[in-house]
């Protein structure tokens, strides 16, 4: 247990360090996907300070504050990590590094990986040297992930993988993919599934981007054609991958639910004031719009408080469990409502797709992208079924 005086001293140290090291350019709102630094062997930057900011934070282990220090993490307690979040928020500091390695694979490796796998992959994730994508969804399987058909045949010293994944986010930029594969067909569909780590540069792996209605997309199709995967890339026991898959899904749902939290640095009320102005009484003249903005602001605050509670419970060893379905459902629905209102506040300008004053259609593209939030990572209907059965105890 860390004493209050130690925590206060830690807060002063964090405040001092952030003040001295966080570039001014990284204290500005995130305006587009390009403002998120993903790392990887072929990184892309919207600003040169992105790399410097990520490197400085990685040296402290603060790209993954609560991961063990022996794997490059910060080794912080949950109270210290909360202080770091508070102080970063206070100066508007962006998250230095965003990756599926941090949000999904890392927690799974810490729980199920062997020592060699942890030592090999976790420090590279912390430093942003490699980036990962997720090989779960398959054509024809939809949200029923256990119906996967990608096969991994044991040939002695390696697996031979054949099959296809779909909706693989950032597969065209990733260095590695974590995959669910079928190694045995003799049991139920949830048995005989294994969890494999595959290098994207392996012979036989190919990727085809999927273009969406927004005109842009991070989604891809990923194909495996006689891909040789070393046996040491199996995480956990062969045929027991469904347990790892479920554990990782709770972290994925929490990550997607975070889309419901504003990252622009401005409240909707501030956007409304800037875009349409205030009436003589100092309020938005449109009563319906004023009500909708106020209601969403209240709901976002309530959601943020719930997220803090869920994270605290998880850090206390209670795990996310079915709570991940609650926050995933609420977070993605809030994000859709937020962008609907943003489109209303910007009026006809929000519909501009091309031109020098529309930022390459960033607003309508982002609005359209939110439609996928309640589908990816398990649809809203799937999440509500989980909540009904596992939280409320309702019959099937």
pLDDT, block means (10 residues), the chain with 396 residues:
82 96 89 82 89 96 95 92 90 92 93 96 96 91 81 95 94 95 90 96 96 79 97 96 85 60 65 82 85 90 82 65 80 89 83 71 82 82 87 84
Residue 143 has a pLDDT of: 67
Residue 291: how many CB atoms within 10 A of its CB? 11
For the chain, first and last CA: distance in Å?
43
| Per-residue pLDDT at 313 | 72
Q: What is the pLDDT of residue 154?
A: 95
* 354-365: b (≥16 Cβ within 10 Å) or e: eeeebeebebbb
pLDDT at 316: 64
> Which residue in 257, 227, 108 sits closest to 178, CA to CA?
108
Quick one: DSSP state of residue 139? Answer: T
- State the Cα–Cα distance between residues 162 and 182, nearest whole angstrom: 10
Q: Both tokens of residue 91?
A: 């100066």
Rg of the Cα atoms in the chain: 22
Question: Where are any strands of DSSP class E within 45-107?
Answer: none
- Please give the Cα distance from 127 to 64 (Å, whole number): 9
Is residue 222 within 8 Å of 233, Cβ to Cβ?
A: no
- Annotated active-site positions, please? 252
- Indicate left, alpha or beta for 72 from its phi (over 0: left) and psi (-120 to 50: alpha): left
Give the pLDDT score at 260: 46
Q: How many CA atoms lie within 13 A of 68 on its CB side?
A: 11
């Amino acid at each position: 247990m860390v004493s209050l005086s130690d925590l206060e001293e830690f807060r002063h140290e964090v405040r001092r360090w952030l003040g001295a090291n966080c570039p001014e350019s990284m204290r500005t709102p995130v305006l587009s996907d390009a403002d998120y630094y993903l790392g990887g062997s072929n990184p892309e930057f919207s600003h040169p300070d992105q790399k410097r900011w990520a490197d400085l934070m990685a040296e402290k282990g603060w790209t993954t504050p609560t991961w063990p220090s022996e794997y490059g993490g910060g080794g912080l307690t949950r109270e210290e990590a909360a202080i770091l979040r508070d102080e970063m928020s206070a100066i508007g500091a962006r998250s230095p590094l965003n990756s599926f390695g941090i949000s999904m694979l890392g927690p799974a490796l810490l729980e199920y990986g062997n020592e060699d796998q942890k030592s090999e992959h976790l420090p590279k994730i912390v430093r942003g040297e490699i980036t990962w994508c997720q090989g779960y969804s398959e054509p024809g399987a939809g949200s029923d992930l256990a119906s996967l058909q990608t096969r991994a045949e044991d040939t002695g010293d390696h697996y031979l993988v054949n099959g296809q994944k779909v909706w693989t986010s950032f597969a065209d930029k990733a260095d590695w993919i974590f995959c669910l594969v079928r190694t045995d067909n003799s049991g139920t569909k949830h048995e005989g599934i294994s969890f494999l780590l595959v290098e994207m540069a392996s012979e036989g792996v190919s990727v085809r981007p999927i273009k969406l209605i927004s005109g842009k997309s991070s989604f891809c199709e990923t194909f495996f054609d006689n891909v040789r995967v070393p046996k040491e890339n199996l995480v956990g026991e062969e045929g027991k991958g469904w347990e790892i898959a479920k554990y990782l899904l709770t972290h994925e749902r929490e990550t997607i639910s975070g889309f419901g939290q504003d990252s622009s640095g401005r409240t909707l009320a501030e956007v409304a004031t800037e875009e349409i102005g205030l009436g003589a009484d100092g309020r938005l003249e449109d009563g319906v719009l004023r009500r909708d903005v106020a209601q969403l602001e209240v709901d976002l605050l309530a959601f943020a408080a719930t997220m803090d509670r869920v994270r605290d419970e998880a850090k206390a060893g209670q795990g996310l469990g079915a709570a991940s379905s609650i926050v995933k459902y609420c977070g993605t629905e809030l994000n859709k409502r937020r962008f609907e209102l943003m489109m209303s506040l910007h009026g006809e300008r929000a519909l501009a797709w091309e031109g020098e004053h529309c930022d390459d259609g960033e607003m309508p593209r982002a609005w359209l992208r939110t439609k996928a939030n309640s589908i990816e990572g398990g649809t809203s209907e799937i999440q509500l079924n989980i909540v009904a059965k596992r939280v409320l105890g309702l019959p099937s």
